[in-house]
Amino acid sequence: MGTLVNLSYRNVVLLTNAEKYAMPTLKQLRELAMLTPDEVAKACGVTRQSVWKWEHGTAKPSIPVRRKLVEIFGVSSSELIQAIEESGKTPDGWAAA
């Protein structure tokens, strides 16, 4: 059985015990904000492909875009950096090839 955890002031999500201690990825932050990749791309002034690359760990957003993502997702800059670092990792913690 999961527990309720508030990851953002905007959203509450049901997480399993294993997920409770894992850092969220950019994709999870986007989903918690209930936004599509297109909506995030438009808000950041980038393409949908850029958002896909961030979420899969093949590219990282620029500093100005990170400032926008902090506002969009309602997280701190350190939480966003951790989510960027978690993006693209496999479930065992290794970076995806």
List, as one string, the DSSP characters of 41-72: HHHHTS-HHHHHHHHTTSS---HHHHHHHHHH
Q: Model's pTM, two decimal places?
A: 0.71
**Domain 23-86 bears CATH identifier 1.10.260.40:** yes
pLDDT at residue 88, as a whole number: 81
Grouping H, G, I as helix, E, B as strand and the rest as coil, residue 56 is: coil
pLDDT at residue 12, as a whole number: 46
pLDDT at residue 14, as a whole number: 46
Instruction: Locate 28 and state its tokens.
Output: 């999870």
Domain borders along the chain are 23-86
Residue pLDDT tens, the chain, 97 long: 443 344 444 444 444 444 445 678 999 999 999 999 999 999 999 999 999 999 999 999 999 999 999 999 999 999 999 999 998 876 655 555 5
